[in-house]
Structure 1
Amino acid sequence: MKKKLLVVVALLGVQFLFAQETKKIELLAVAEGNFGGTNGDVFTVSNTSGEMVTEGPFYQNANGVGTGFNVLQDFEIVGDKAILVSNAAGFRVVIAEYPSLTAIETFTSMGSPAAVVGAGVGFAYVSFSNPTSLRQIDLTNNTITPVIDTENLVSGSSKFMAYGNGYFYAAMGTSILKVDPTTNTTVSKFPLNIGSITGLQFDAATQSLWALGKVNGVSALQEVNTQDDSVEEAIILTGVTNASQLRFGNHKLYFLSGINVHAYDIENPDLPTSAIYTSTLPNTYFFAYGKAFQVDPVSGDFVIGNASGFTGNSAYEIIDGTTYEQLVSGTVTGCIGVNEFVLKTTDGSLGVTNPTADRFTFYPNPATDIVNFHSNNDSNYTVTLYNQLGVALKTIKSNAVDSTISVADLPSGIYFAQLQTVNSTTTTVKKIVVSH
């Protein structure tokens, strides 16, 4: 189906979208804030009303003016909770309700938090420096506990962490640390062959962990089979020496090289990679600051931000992951120093991506224990369940027209099931509500 022209008009700082058919866009933006201030917070931008409208700051709206963060370093959503960490005076780690961001518990005096990542249902991990430690957050009991590390495998802080196949992984120098969240105990630590690791992503469809690094000064990828922790031969990204911000979406690995976006197709690899998009945002220190480059893991659409010198509203642009055309650009009102995004896009109304026909049906919705899927066309397909942050929680591979996936162990909330047949590139996305 031929795409309709998308016209974007900026008026008084609000971006209006005019189209016969547009994508529904939901963007969450994390503001690091001015150093020494309290304006680190969380904002959203969406076009549900037909125009791109900013809302927030959510943390201060929920907890009072002046309660924002001095350097909001990282942010993570796990079910119906969110974790916010501040890497400045006070070094706060906050557990909050999501999406309201009403604070539940605050922890201080544990060191400087470097990063936070969810680890399955009900857990997350925070890496600290000064002093170095790795701690598990139990979101059921709202507690934080150091990892049990009897073999002294935790050798430093980590900015690159991932969860997959039931385990938590953290990049530490040139090696990967593996932790069992159920016992909060280190399992092993194994080296890779790509020097210092500068990115880590998990592909639920193949149960593979992907790492970014360098070989002889050239950027490289390396795959780890999480079934047995075997390491594949490094994939040299010929011609790229400065790859950063490794991301995963729609069966591809994305990364930045300067202001260029590259994609490596996991299923149909083609080397060397070439730029699929060149950003229109200013190429300054503030370009894609922190983690301000993110990919919708389902659609493959991506967003790039600019912290705008920490003096004004942060800029962003959202790109179609199929055509590599800009969908919309603008600013996030009140967002000072954007350092992270969460992006979710869907074609037309929420529910189906690339809608040629409704090839799958599912029930019940809302669900309590299980969700049943039925394929109208193919008996060989994969279902991957994502949370609102885009983290893959479960994957099943079916060779029958009917299949089920358990949601009994998931917190109440909104999830997305991505369904793809083996013999087709068309992907269907279903919104699932879990209610206990």
Structure 2
Amino acid sequence: MKFMKTKLLFILLLANFSIYAQSSDIPDYIPSDGLLAYYPFNGNANDISGNGSHGIAVDVEQTQDRFGQRRSAYYFNGTSSNIEADVKNYPLKGGSRTITGWFQADIPYVSEELDFCLLNYGNVSDPNYWFKISFYRKGYLDIQFDSKTFQSQDDYFNNEWTFFAMVFNDETNTFSLYINNQLKLSGSADLYTNGFGNLFRIGKNKSNNYFEGSIDDIGIWNRVLTSQEITAIYNAPKPILYTLIPDLNFENKLIELGFDEGIPDGKILKENIQYEPFLNVSSSNISDLTGIEDFKDLRYLDCTNNNLTTINLTKNDSLRDLDCSNNKISLLNLEKNLKLQYLLISDNKITDLNLTKNDSIESISAHRNLLTTLNLSKSKKLHSLYISFNKLSTLDISENTLLEILDVSSNNLTSLNLKNGNNLLLGNSVNFTENPNLSCIQVDDAEYSNTNWATFKDATATYNTNCTVEYITLKDSHFEQKLIDLGIDTDGLNGKISSSDISAVTSLDLSNSNITDLSGIENFTSLTNLDCSNNQITNLNLSYNLLLERLIAFSNQITSLDLSKNSKLTIVYVVSNPLIFLNLQNGNNTNMIILNVTGKNVASYATSFLGLNQLACIKVDNAAFSNTNWSKIKETSTTYSTSCSLGIEDSVFDKVTLYPNPTKDEVTIANISLEKATVYNTLGQLVKSFNLNSGDSNNTISLSDLPKGVYYVYLINKDDATVKKVIIE
């Protein structure tokens, strides 16, 4: 019962639906009693016993078996080919066992070894745990049990398929080796293979003595097979294998083509189809191509004009030409079809097509599908692409330098990159029309494309050598006009500027331009020198201008300025601003060029904070350094500190509160000892000043005589300072 369940389960899972004449996954002549593993090598190294002891194949090649069936055995190259399997429940403590199989060997001409291992089980470093069957250089067969070796001095390098069966009887501690069903060697031996796990090696031993030749049908049992069972294995006839063909119309077509005969019965002889290179089943009302996977040598398949919704071609790795147009296919997996050259899939419902592994593809015709993306970066040999009437939004063929024909009409393209360095090869075999959202087509030469391809695009699209334009918003028209005057903005006054126009700008003089808003300046990332003096700027964000060395921003309305990210700054000239906050803690204070102090100011400007009467605290790298070296470039009311406020909205005074806020009259400042509080309007103008009792942690200030609006209360206590926003109703 267990065996029957295993058979049924295997049949359900078997990918290629091949069956033996008796509908069994394991041939009838293979005893199931005690079977640990069976490797038929029919295209893989899987164990079909149901125990799951699958082998890992390295550098082996499929070859024909003793019956002449291709892809039904493995060839081992003598230098690296091998298969290793973790055989479950293998006897470890001298248990009885039988190993059978077939080999074909000739005089080795690749390997120069003296020993060629057929199979091995054990630890080469310990002769007490060792078993192998191998061949000596002269073609002799050796069988080794631990440290004891037995040899058959027949020449097995005869290029003939040879059957072997090794039987070990644990009860008598004897072995028997049968060659072609004849007893060849026997004797007393120990087979104590404990202590090294269950690893079974085919085609090599642990010393890397590799076998050169072909191997097939390896079986392992945990008991002694009878002579009758061994004879049955040896005399097994050529297996009759069938492939299931569940679609009646498919089988009728195969009968018509001569691959099958008689009345349709849902199956076909595998040997009739497995080596066939060409198959045309077009216009046959087929809905299911199950069975196509056993056309192992299929190179050309035409299944056009059918009712297919899916097709499994993962086993057809020789396929070069595929035409499945005019079906209902929605998903097509071609990742295993690495030799595919010509693909015709028009008039289907395909939504996704992965061709990243199909680097041999030369021509694609995929009109009238539902494709939204298509990656052709690996398809270097592509010379023709027909893909109209899809849903593509982007297409990049910049890697397809051999392209001669391109039709991408009637898609949803917003981006099309044709800049492959070989547009001349396309000639006039192009069509980009009916893509209403496509405004720019990237090409090698815009002049050539405009001359030769003018009618192959929509009127709203243009040809350009660079379509990857990113725009920066400019809120202030005076700022943009100045950039236009400087020749930086090249597309007119439109509230934006392309990133390509500003990427290389290193110096910018915006002085005397009536600018109030410098939003967008943060995108000038190459900027080293900025002069924005004599404007009406209230806010200046330079946190992304990391290369900035020189800032001239005097005579503006800036109230807060954070330069902590500008670690290359040497000159900061911001006098004549209502500054109440300045953060210069950028790690580069020692390299600043200071007005009339260091002797470095060879330039027309140098760093100075003189005249900034509302600036109570400047945040610096080191207060002691600044007090020593910068004492003469600030007002006496201004202090240097490492802990000034980071900004108008931030506070280093964790517990301070102002209430009520909003207010109509008084404001209480609680949980902080203060010496002074100053109030500024949004223009940075000082409107009130209060001297407070530093011994009291709660102080009240009156704002009743101020008009409604937003104000900033600057809280000062020794070298520390912060700002709080207050709203007066």
The one of the two structures with greater contact order (alpha-carbon pairs below 8 A, sep at least 6) is 1
- After TM superposition, the score normalised by the length of structure 2 is 0.17
Structure (1/2) with the larger strand percentage: 1
Query: Which is higher, the Rg of structure 1 or of structure 2?
Result: 2
